[in-house]
Structure 1
């Protein structure tokens, strides 16, 4: 064997074809873990293909270097890639044992094997290993070789390099390890998977036995360091008797907000080297708030399951918490258990918000109808007929049958409509807003129709109409447009859909009036952020997750661009924009403060301080011909946070009789916000709303004559016979 390595020395100094070019090591880009930090600077997770943190040559701790050299290659600074004495000793021991028991490889040989060769134990592999080691020594300095070794060595638990190993076993940097801890990690070099729980071979031995083996290896390293006089006798004894305690696996790569981290991964996986680039990702998430949100949702779901064990497996939920000023995401809980389901209910689930969507209809009503004092604006509260389509009859939108309130109140103002979440009143209000919008748009639509006069007449002529008949059809179309008929449904609903989009609702909203009471699907994140303009003076803000991303040397890789606030309700008249926002803030406060408000129960635990909230219960399916609850919501704003909570079943089926947003979602918010509320904290007043002289006796705006029995237009195109 010794003669074989002598031959290898001469071959290494010649040109040998077929071997890797060691010069390319200079271009080697080692995979490095990327770490994710919360808003408080704490580690909340990481991304990695190989878990590694690079140590530069001048960053290798001296005590770690001495432990490696004493254990693996005491002549490292004296040999030229292979150590003849070590080879001879290993060969003799192999001969005595009559099997391969000792390798005698230098650090450089180990590096060559790990980088270029297979791990099989054959003389041929050792021969090529020696050649590569000698060539590496010719090309690189000892410090460069040591740095490569320190960063490339596998040390168990999926961690490569001594820095990653220090963090996974002891939760600290390698420079902060004690002598005993450094020796412990070095002792794992020859059996790196000794403490890796998911290794199949380790299941045959108890952890206690394997840990005792690791401690023996640590003591062996200390003994070798003492022999080489790298440590004193006192240092040896203290390290020998030091109590070694290692952390549970994966502690170094916490996953404290898995749904949030997965959103970051999906957003940047094609743009940045998340798994290999050693990035430092600084986020907006607050770990303490995240934990509170997770606990509150878990408790809320457990209470629901106790009432409905038949739905235990299907019950799902989500919580989103945003900073009220910046819309930075402070918490994102996309479900109860990411490891059971990676589906993120906070951003992926499209669900009907029910009454939680009503504030957008109220804001539009304030914009297009109620432009003066809110106290003077009243509308009908009675069953509202909706056409189900030609020949399918009518469906009546009704109010929820509260046990302690009248089903219908005749006429109501906006405060009662929103606080008591009256569906029928909201539909009457929405119809008035739609008609006001149509009236504003009629001149534009008539002008557009006039510009297409020749085109429309030609269309009817192609259908076989006479010139007089085609002209007559065009005139009838024009008259219908002047009454708001034959419009594109998308255009007819822009009074609501555009306002909601400006606020932050990006999901497709259906062009039907029932969207005003939440019949279109949205996700939790977007509707929560879209509520913020109601309390900040009327300005839209975009939710954000990232504050900055840097490389391993803290050079900026991605700096977030924060868009300036954009007026939501009226971009041309900022005073009007603020008026609408201030009214909306007061309306949403009434949901909590009015005794009949659907979220008034919050005042039991929080008698002071401002809340602006809206509950929601969607009825997106029927049983025995009756609509049943499928989605429970609450969106609640405080002077610091915007919080959205959703609870429902994965199959969008019945949650159960009288399971509402107030019953399921509100208690989750109630528990979450505990300890985060500052007593007497108020929203800022950004617009003074003048009161009427006698609001209690204010004369209501005359309701539209058709409010109680409005005409239902069939806007489908009809095929007519030629005239």
Structure 2
């Protein structure tokens, strides 16, 4: 017997168990249970996979292809820039500035993961553990207090799905999340999330959020600031520090503690962050530093490219606007209108207050009124109240010589001389009004009024002057005549209260501001600046079948006899202008006006000589620019170029230049309008000490006031009037109402520029003439004056016309 068989025979034998009933042994029970478990498990897996497959195929139908996110282009801000590339406006539906992941602080990424999805780098789009934990927490609380969605799920919901609460949406969200995890890296998903999620107050993405809440770029945020921003997406309105600072700080501190718990920051960093004071920026409206011009730009781009491209595609719009000029224009219009409005009288307080006991309510009222009105001078955090600003106040005491005003935490005094304009309003043209002699005639205790801050007496006391919001409106446009570039545009007193652009949309009678066009037509038709027209009474029968008659008169209601064209335009003689139009014909004048850029329909009658046919300020500035640009018309250009979000140029202006009148004719009209400044109705602007050509305009009953003027560098037009065709008051002429605005703007716009003269056309010559006859004169004639003429239309010498026509005709 070998050793192996021996050892085997020596092994102890297991005793046989007694099983009298033939029942299965314990070993067999184990097998049965094991096979049963495996069977049930297998069946469960089959059913589970089947159900999962059914759910997947059912709810994945119609889901978008997540691969399209490879070209992820979220809605971003379109920005508008000045000619010097200063940011002047923004257009957006979602305020978003894209920030690459590498530019986002590590602490902001960590804070987001800590409070939103700490297992982000370890799950495949959905986090079963988080789902179970949320279910238990919500069950214990009896309502939803915690979500189980991962960052990937939140992103898929934001990008592709609605925000409805339903099982179907959650399933579709999970499917999309898994798909995204298969296609994109974790870094890609985190970058998209941090640029896509809503953080409140119109801000999408962390860059916009950083600027909204802290007024600085995201890269400059502290740990505490990162934690505050990371806590907003859960409920931006609920946790906004502007709305509930206490709740916002609580949410921030939760994020800080989670960061420390996960080892993202040290205990020392945690304590410092928890103790950090919240220093908020200021919720800003969309940037818009030139509202009427920006609206003009918006309408152009929206018409050309549509709203979606404008508000979502992150365009860069480079304009021709000179921001310094625009600031000057806005200031000149506001100050000019306030000054003009005071000549019309005081319309009374904004409202009355009888109970002074509740100071908190008074402060709230004044703060609300101040927030709704535009300031004159920009304030700052260091200087919230600035000299020159217009604020609201409550009259608390009035004597004969002054009024005391409560300004909400401050006091002020209005001396009589700073409110003596405040007579009762009256627009009667036959009465001249004097200043008030008693402060009680204007103000009473309890009046809520507007005041301008003057010199500060001490920390809480101000010198004040009484103000009111003007009823009269204005428009201003300034452009470079050689390029057509629009440098400034103002369409009214306050864009917040009226978006109607009176510079481009208001069709108003131009009055005498239209006369240079009539004179241009006449000179083109053979007249010269020295031509003599008799300024004498004339009567026109307007209609053949009626007895209606029109007897035009000059503004002075006098007639001046033989008058040269230069004298007639210098002093804005109505009768001479009408006779010129009568000779050249209305069709000729209309045709010339159209060449110059007037597109509004013109009336077919002689009254257009006096500017009776309505035009826009924009059209009139375009026409005057032809005179300033040697007869070339260039369509006004507001935009230099537009770039798309990738920096590709999608628009440049089509510059249209056209010689519409001769350079000689343009030079003569310019020279005639220089006489308006030197000797006529535009004398006030001589203080510029520059070559200026200009013309005033005033319509019947002082309804419209104009001043159109230009230097070689800038053509600027100003219109002043009420939106309704109502009189502005006695003597509110172009010289009185419009020139101050024009002059204030041009003084600042031309400051520092070298003095330039108008170019001289080679189509003109200078000759001496007898101003009384218009004939050429000898140089030794003491009455002779130099005059400008077209080379092919020189004045005759005395006796030449008699020789041509014969003595019998004289």
TM-score interval, normalised by the smaller of the two chains: 0.7 to 0.9
- Which residue of the partner structure matches residue 721 of structure 1? none
Q: 1:288 aligns with which of 324, 340, 352?
A: 324
Q: 1:617 aligns with which of 679, 694, 698?
A: 698
Conserved? CA contact 1:8–1:128, under 8 Å? no
- Which residue of the partner structure matches residue 652 of structure 1? 725
Note closer, same or farther for the CA distance 1:420–1:184 as it changes in structure 2 (3 Å cut): farther
Query: Within 2, Cα distance between the matches of 1:547 and 1:102?
Result: 52
CA-to-aligned-CA distance 1:286-307 (integer Å, 9 cap, x gap): 2332222122212222223222
Q: CA deviation at 1:248?
A: 2.9
Note closer, same or farther for the CA distance 1:86–1:296 as it changes in structure 2 (3 Å cut): same
Q: 1:221 aligns with which of 255, 263, 275?
A: 255
Query: Within 2, Cα distance between the matches of 1:157 and 1:417?
Result: 61
Query: Within 2, Cα distance between the matches of 1:75 and 1:157?
Result: 29
- Which residue of the partner structure matches residue 534 of structure 2? 380
Using the TM superposition, name which of 526-535 and 157-166 deviates more: 157-166
Conserved? CA contact 1:369–1:433, under 8 Å? no
Query: Within 2, Cα distance between the matches of 1:412 and 1:9?
Result: 104
Query: Within 1, Cα distance between the matches of 2:336 and 2:751?
Result: 23
Query: Within 2, Cα distance between the matches of 1:23 and 1:111?
Result: 14
Query: Within 1, Cα distance between the matches of 2:625 and 2:196?
Result: 49
Query: Within 1, Cα distance between the matches of 2:193 and 2:49?
Result: 22
Using the TM superposition, name which of 116-125 and 278-287 deviates more: 116-125
Q: 2:659 aligns with which of 567, 589, 605?
A: 567
Query: Within 2, Cα distance between the matches of 1:610 and 1:178?
Result: 57
Q: CA deviation at 1:677?
A: 2.9
Q: CA deviation at 1:265?
A: 2.2
Conserved? CA contact 1:380–1:425, under 8 Å? yes
Conserved? CA contact 2:76–2:94, under 8 Å? yes
- Which residue of the partner structure matches residue 15 of structure 1? 56
Contiguous gaps of at least 5 residues in structure 1: 197-206, 435-492, 570-576, 620-627, 703-723
Query: Within 2, Cα distance between the matches of 1:313 and 1:328?
Result: 30
- Which residue of the partner structure matches residue 592 of structure 1? 677
Q: 1:417 aligns with which of 568, 585, 606?
A: 568
Note closer, same or farther for the CA distance 1:378–1:301 as it changes in structure 2 (3 Å cut): same
SS of alignment partner, residue 506 of structure 1? coil
Conserved? CA contact 1:156–1:194, under 8 Å? no
Q: CA deviation at 1:284?
A: 1.4
Compute the TM-score of the two structures, normalised by the length of structure 1. 0.76
- Which residue of the partner structure matches residue 95 of structure 2? 51
Q: Greater relative contact order: 1 or 2 (C-alpha under 8 angstroms, separation 6 or more)?
A: 1
Note closer, same or farther for the CA distance 1:25–1:177 as it changes in structure 2 (3 Å cut): farther
- Which residue of the partner structure matches residue 756 of structure 2? 682
Q: CA deviation at 1:241?
A: 5.2
SS of alignment partner, residue 544 of structure 1? coil
- Which residue of the partner structure matches residue 302 of structure 1? 338
- Which residue of the partner structure matches residue 262 of structure 1? 295
Q: CA deviation at 1:386?
A: 2.9
Conserved? CA contact 2:59–2:172, under 8 Å? no
Q: CA deviation at 1:107?
A: 0.3
Give 1:214-363 correspondences, 5 Å limit. Answer: 214-232=248-266, 236=270, 239-240=273-274, 243-251=277-285, 253-272=286-305, 273-308=309-344, 309=347, 315-363=472-520
Q: 1:431 aligns with which of 574, 582, 596?
A: 582
Note closer, same or farther for the CA distance 1:697–1:425 as it changes in structure 2 (3 Å cut): closer
Note closer, same or farther for the CA distance 1:195–1:246 as it changes in structure 2 (3 Å cut): farther
Query: Within 1, Cα distance between the matches of 2:269 and 2:565?
Result: 78
Pick the structure with greater CA Rg. Answer: 2
Note closer, same or farther for the CA distance 1:370–1:652 as it changes in structure 2 (3 Å cut): same
Note closer, same or farther for the CA distance 1:323–1:699 as it changes in structure 2 (3 Å cut): closer
Using the TM superposition, name which of 221-230 and 544-553 deviates more: 221-230
- Which residue of the partner structure matches residue 204 of structure 1? none
Conserved? CA contact 1:23–1:139, under 8 Å? no
Query: Within 2, Cα distance between the matches of 1:686 and 1:223?
Result: 78
Give 1:319-718 correspondences, 5 Å limit. Answer: 319-370=476-527, 374=529, 376-390=530-544, 391-401=546-556, 407-434=558-585, 493-563=586-656, 565-569=657-661, 577-594=662-679, 597-603=680-686, 605-606=687-688, 608-619=689-700, 628-678=701-751, 681-687=755-761, 689-693=764-768, 695-696=770-771, 699-700=774-775
Note closer, same or farther for the CA distance 1:227–1:557 as it changes in structure 2 (3 Å cut): farther
Query: Within 1, Cα distance between the matches of 2:676 and 2:651?
Result: 42
SS of alignment partner, residue 200 of structure 2? coil
Compute the TM-score of the two structures, normalised by the length of structure 2. 0.69
SS of alignment partner, residue 690 of structure 1? strand
Query: Within 2, Cα distance between the matches of 1:10 and 1:137?
Result: 22
Query: Within 2, Cα distance between the matches of 1:13 and 1:559?
Result: 55
Conserved? CA contact 2:707–2:717, under 8 Å? yes
Conserved? CA contact 1:37–1:281, under 8 Å? yes
Q: CA deviation at 1:177?
A: 4.0
Contiguous gaps of at least 5 residues in structure 2: 1-43, 348-424, 428-468, 776-794, 797-810
Q: CA deviation at 1:136?
A: 2.8
Note closer, same or farther for the CA distance 1:409–1:306 as it changes in structure 2 (3 Å cut): same
- Which residue of the partner structure matches residue 373 of structure 2? none
Note closer, same or farther for the CA distance 1:513–1:671 as it changes in structure 2 (3 Å cut): same
CA-to-aligned-CA distance 1:244-302 (integer Å, 9 cap, x gap): 44333334x21222222222222221432112222111111223322221222122222
Q: CA deviation at 1:194?
A: 4.3
Query: Within 2, Cα distance between the matches of 1:322 and 1:9?
Result: 73
Note closer, same or farther for the CA distance 1:548–1:314 as it changes in structure 2 (3 Å cut): same
- Which residue of the partner structure matches residue 355 of structure 2? none
Query: Within 2, Cα distance between the matches of 1:658 and 1:166?
Result: 55
Query: Within 1, Cα distance between the matches of 2:222 and 2:694?
Result: 54
Q: 2:110 aligns with which of 44, 66, 69?
A: 66
SS of alignment partner, residue 554 of structure 2? coil
Query: Within 1, Cα distance between the matches of 2:192 and 2:548?
Result: 78
SS of alignment partner, residue 384 of structure 1? coil
Conserved? CA contact 1:609–1:682, under 8 Å? yes
Q: CA deviation at 1:105?
A: 2.0
Note closer, same or farther for the CA distance 1:7–1:354 as it changes in structure 2 (3 Å cut): farther
SS of alignment partner, residue 709 of structure 2? strand
SS of alignment partner, residue 500 of structure 2? coil
SS of alignment partner, residue 337 of structure 2? helix
